[in-house]
Amino acid sequence: MGWLYPYGFTKFLAEQMLSRHQGEVHLGIVRPSIVESTLCDPYPGWIQNYRMADPTLINNGKGHIHDFPGCSDTALDLVPVNSVANAILAVAAYIGSRIEKCTVNHVATSGSTPLMMELFHDLLKNYFTVNPMLDKSGAPIAIPDWV
């Protein structure tokens, strides 16, 4: 049906249902890219639980990831949760002052501050080199270069 995976398709169905049955209520749909840890509060990098890209980051630190799909010059679109929260507040204020009843808003970073895959790998490698995860014997785990 043109959808690569059920998650995106079900989000589309929910948005269609909301927009068709919203009545007189103004609706603002916020579509963030990959939501990740905080940019600032409560402190930079804070995240609760491991979701989205976090398992990839941790498994890289454990030396389990030897390659990653994507070209070195491909942008990886991660957006801090603070930015998503700010966007939701901005959309709420915006739709309250507009005539149109439904707005769709994308929250992403690669258009203005792209994180290229090569830099992403270098940052991960540098971080886990300085702050290595340890194996069962307590030895630092070496981080492999991605293919």
Residue 50 gets which letter from DSSP? Answer: -
Residue 55 region by backbone torsions, left for phi larger than 0, else alpha for psi between -120 and 50, else beta: alpha
| Cα 67 from Cα 122, distance rounded (Å) | 13
Write down the catalytic residue from 5, 7, 43, 136.
Answer: 7
Write down the catalytic residue from 11, 43, 62, 125.
Answer: 11
| Cα 118 from Cα 127, distance rounded (Å) | 14
- Terminal CA-to-CA distance of the chain, rounded, Å? 33
Adjacent-strand bridge partners of 134:
140
11 as an active site residue: the answer is yes
Other C-beta atoms lying within 10 Å of the C-beta of residue 109 = 19
7 as an active site residue: the answer is yes
| Cα 42 from Cα 65, distance rounded (Å) | 30
Q: Which residue numbers are catalytic?
A: 7, 11
